[in-house]
Amino acid sequence: MRILDLATILGLGAGLGLVSAHWAVAGRPVVGKVEVGSWMAWPGSGSRDVDPYMRAYLARGVHLPIGAGEGLELIAERSDDGAPLEGRCRYRVSGTIPPSRGWTLGVTDGAGRPFHLPLERVSFTDSEIVRGEDGGLSITAAAAAQAGNWLPLPAGGRFQLRLRLYDTPVSSQTGETRAANLPRITRIDCR
Amino acid sequence: MSALDPTAAPLPDEARPGKAPRPAPAPRSWPERLRSAAMRLALTTLAGLMLAAIVHIVTILLIPVLSQRDAAHAYRNLGSEGHAEIVPPAGNASGLPPLQEADPNAVTAICGYDLSAGPMRVVAHIGTLPLGLTLHRQGGGVIYAITDRAAIRGVLEFLVMTEAQYDERVANDEEGETSRELRVVSDTAQGLIVARVLAKRPSDRADAEALATGIQCGMAN
């Protein structure tokens, strides 16, 4: 009976410990995440004192995160109404972008890989955007062609928007950034 | 077996003279047995959960130490020719794994460093495109980041060294003179110097690649 107890303890401990560790770092960890509106950031990932979960996540693949003094990467998986971003819908990305030397806004899958779409437009940079008379930003993300700044989406399935800010003062104060200082992601309609 | 035999087993209580026989233990009832089994299960589960927490923490801490698939191992040989080399795209002939979660608009070039032979000097001539240099130590963590805005007369230059090499260099400095070198201390002997140049337009890519591969990284002495 004691052997059975010991086997239960060892099995439960090893199994649950390994599975929970794998689950915790299979994707970007919850620990260290900063949420500003629809956007998520892990500002500690590019610092000297990166937390153990992010360190383990980065070590499981070939990652080179943007350094804390180099810039900041923001990821959105949901629109402002809280619904997941899906290829069958149209979205408008508008508003302001924090001051930086340059930024890029791209569409990726859940693992951060760009989609292979017929049109080779996976992202915009600050120099490629056509702005309105008021100088505002407006990008339409949709699977079908759109007028203006069109960011093509896959025909279906989930996707992410990744905003990378280079040489920005926001990188050191991500937690204090207000949602109004980041672009809004508005769902226009869905098929 | 005699009574004087010292190896003889002691007599049972019932057989000892003057001792009252001990009553036989009463059989336990089902509720008691269930309670005992439940207590045992609870203790076993608690012990299992505590062990799971220990295994979880140890696993998380060991992954960066034991990983052979991270960027520091994959790209450690890039830059061995004295200048940064661009991270090859997926499906390249060299067999190197592609960089995950990379910005398609940025050109990334790498110099792997090994400070066991001495400090490394990094020299970058800046251009018009945004350039960032970061030091990624083996095992995770960005220990230093600098952008082209910190360049002096169009050049970014710094030395990467270990703590011991830093102490030695400070000891060798001229007395009373301030060194103009920018010295970055790495707490690991191995790591990567990563240069990222943002190509704002597709036509900027050639310039960005030239800027990134023009970064020199060699022995400081």
Indicate whether B8 pLDDT > 70: no
CA dist B108 → B42, B209, B219 (Å): 54, 8, 22
| Residues A86-117: tens digit of each pLDDT | 999 999 999 888 889 999 999 999 888 888 88
Indicate whether A188 pLDDT > 50: yes
CATH 2.60.40 fits B71-90+103-219, yes or no: yes
What ipTM describes this predicted complex? 0.85
Residue at token pair 């060991």: B62
Least confident of A18-32, B47-61, B168-182: B168-182
Q: Which residues of A touch B48 (CB under 8 A)?
A: 8-13, 16
* DSSP state string for chain B: --TT-TTSPPPPGGGSTTPPPPPPPPPPPHHHHHHHHHHHHHHHHHHHHHHHHHHHHHHHHHHHHH-SSSHHHHTTTTTTTSB-EEPPPTT-TT-PPPPTT--TTEEEEEEEEEGGG--EEEEEE--SS-EEEEEEETTS-EEEEEEGGG-BTTEEEEEEE-HHHHHHHHHHSPTT------EEE-SSSEEEEEEEEE-SSGGGHHHHHHHHHT-EEEE--
Q: Indicate yes or no: CB of A123 within 8 angstroms of CB of B104.
A: yes
Q: Cα A46 to the chain's mean position, in Å?
A: 15
Q: Which residues of B touch A126 (CB under 8 A)?
A: 200
Indicate whether B139 pLDDT > 50: yes
Q: Indicate yes or no: CB of A122 within 8 angstroms of CB of B196.
A: no
- The model's confidence at residue B26, banded by pLDDT at 50, 70 and 90, is low
Shortest alpha-carbon distance between residue B20 and chain A (Å): 34
**What is the radius of gyration, based on Cα positions, of chain A?**
20
Least confident of A30-39, A95-104, A128-137: A128-137
- Residue B195 forms contact with A (CB below 8 Å): no
A 60-79 residues inside an 8 A Cβ radius of B: 60-71, 73
Identify the bridge partners of residue B219 per DSSP, sorted by sequence position: B120
| Residues B93-137: tens digit of each pLDDT | 778 888 999 899 999 999 999 989 889 999 999 989 999 999 998
Least confident of A18-22, A106-110, A181-185, B78-82: B78-82
Shortest alpha-carbon distance between residue B124 and chain A (Å): 15
Helix axes B30-66, A2-26, angle to 10 degrees: 40
B 39-98 residues inside an 8 A Cβ radius of A: 40, 44-45, 47-56, 58-61, 63-64, 67, 69-71, 74-75, 97-98
How many CB atoms sit inside 10 A of residue A191's CB?
Answer: 12
Least confident of A77-86, A162-171, B46-55: A162-171
d(CA B5, CA B207) in angstroms, rounded, equals 102
Q: Is A172 left (phi over 0), alpha (psi -120 to 50) or beta?
A: alpha
Indicate whether A17 pLDDT > 50: yes
Fold of A31-190: Jelly Rolls (2.60.120)
A 134-173 residues inside an 8 A Cβ radius of B: 162, 164, 166-167
The beta-carbon neighbor of A21 closest among B59, B104, B136 is B59
